[in-house]
Amino acid sequence: MDNVRIGIVGCGAIAQVHHAPNLKELWHLYDLNSVCDVSARAAAHVAARFDVPAHFTDYAAFLASDIEAVVFCQTDPKTDYVLQALDAGKHVFVEKPVCFNLDEISAMVSAQERAGVVGQAGYMKVYDPAFEVVAAEAADMDVRFVQIHHLHPTNDLHLAQFDVQRFDDVPAAVIQETVAARRAALVHALGTAPPDGVARAFFLLSGSMIHDLYGLRHIMGVPTRIHNVDIWQEGRAVTFQVEYANGARCNGTWIDLPDLWDFKETLEVCADDKRVTLKYPTGFSRGQLSEVTVQEIDANGTMVARTPAIDWASAFIREMQAFHGCIREGRECRTPLSEVHHDVGLIINLIKSHLGNG
């Protein structure tokens, strides 16, 4: 197999729990040659822990190292770094949130097209075998109603199950620049500086509920209308209802319950005669499977429930296998950067609808 020489930008939790170990597990597809972080200690730690030959704090030097593809999983915003990589001719895998406004994703897609490289969004749930089962079931349904329900504890509860090392050597100026850049991207997206609670909701939609939104798009398409949006608990809770082209509606809920261990994220797809329910584990887990239940009326008129067997393959592993296939075999990308504008635009419109100017 022709291995892809790859590097990682961002050596925090998602790199330590998933991307670095997964790329090493995929030794027959990737050579993990470099890592980069603004924290010198984080970069050195990940390089030593996962046997990576080179580590950097200088991003230009990282791009000039022996890599042809980059995984971006650093603190947002990522746009400037992604654009530099694309201009350098690198294939890019961009963790969610890819970006925060439509001009940013437009610039990424244009740069990708100029470079003629692969651009893949880190939309891992599309690659979850359980999601594929649900999408196949839904394809034959006359869907009338969809519900997404996301009860989210603090990630620290689940990260405590892993050996995630954190470091305090990030320069203060870098932290200030990052905070300012996030704020600027938010204002650019909305055209105004929203109240703090609304800003918090914008970022939670972009960083967490984005999984539910892109999943819905893959099953239902792009919503045609927003009926209502409510942001409450100072931005720690969001509820909304949207409508699709076939008249079906979706109720969505995201609630921050920081001290509750039990993570809950569910997707329900309903027709008159069938309901398919998908239950996800937290993204900060390894080896836990999503669960699918299908309820319907059989040929004898009896209500039956079945639980399809789910393949054990990790969604995080499968998305990297797909990325390799796009690069080396020219396969069509299932989660291309060119489709991200649908999700970014929906989040912007949900927030604007709440503010009364959508």
Question: Given the DSSP bridges, would you call strands 145-152 and 69-72 parallel, antiparallel or unpaired?
Answer: unpaired
**What pLDDT is recorded for position 159?**
86
Residue 17: φ, ψ to 5°: -85, -35
* CA atoms of 88 and 105, how far apart (whole Å): 18
CA angle 150, 159, 130 (to 5 degrees): 45
Q: Going by C-beta distance under 8 Å and a sequence separation of 6 or more, which residues neighbour residue 175?
A: none
Residue type, 126: V
* CA atoms of 289 and 312, how far apart (whole Å): 7
Token output for 67? 């890599």
* CA atoms of 38 and 19, how far apart (whole Å): 18
Question: Mind listing the pLDDT tens digit of every residue in the chain (358 residues)?
Answer: 699 999 999 999 999 999 999 999 999 999 999 999 999 999 999 999 999 999 999 999 999 999 999 999 999 999 999 999 999 999 999 999 999 999 999 999 999 999 999 999 999 999 999 999 999 999 999 999 999 999 988 888 888 889 999 999 999 999 999 999 999 999 999 999 999 999 999 999 999 999 999 999 999 999 999 999 999 999 999 999 999 999 999 999 999 998 988 899 999 999 999 999 999 998 888 889 999 999 998 888 888 999 999 999 999 999 999 999 999 999 999 999 999 999 999 999 999 999 996 5
Q: Which residues pair with 149 in a beta bridge?
A: 253, 266
**What pLDDT is recorded for position 1?**
65
CA 87, distance to chain mean position in Å, is 23
Comparing CA positions, the residue from 22, 288, 350, 295 lying closest to residue 134 is 295
Q: Which residues pair with 291 in a beta bridge?
A: 279
Comparing CA positions, the residue from 83, 98, 101 lying closest to residue 187 is 101
* CA atoms of 222 and 274, how far apart (whole Å): 22
Using the structure block, give the residue that is written with the tokens 């993990």: 32
Contact 98, 72 (CB under 8 A): no
**What pLDDT is recorded for position 69?**
98
> Where in the chain are all domains bearing CATH 3.30.360.10?
126-312+342-355
What angle separates helix 172-190 from helix 102-115, to the nearest 10 degrees?
Answer: 100
CATH number of 126-312+342-355: 3.30.360.10
Q: How many CB atoms lie within 10 A of CB 303?
A: 9
The alpha helices in 53-101, defined as continuous H runs, are 59-63, 79-87
Question: Which CATH homologous superfamily contains domain 4-122+318-336?
Answer: NAD(P)-binding Rossmann-like Domain (3.40.50.720)
> Where in the chain are all domains bearing CATH 3.40.50.720?
4-122+318-336
**What pLDDT is recorded for position 197?**
97
* CA atoms of 27 and 3, how far apart (whole Å): 8
**What pLDDT is recorded for position 272?**
93
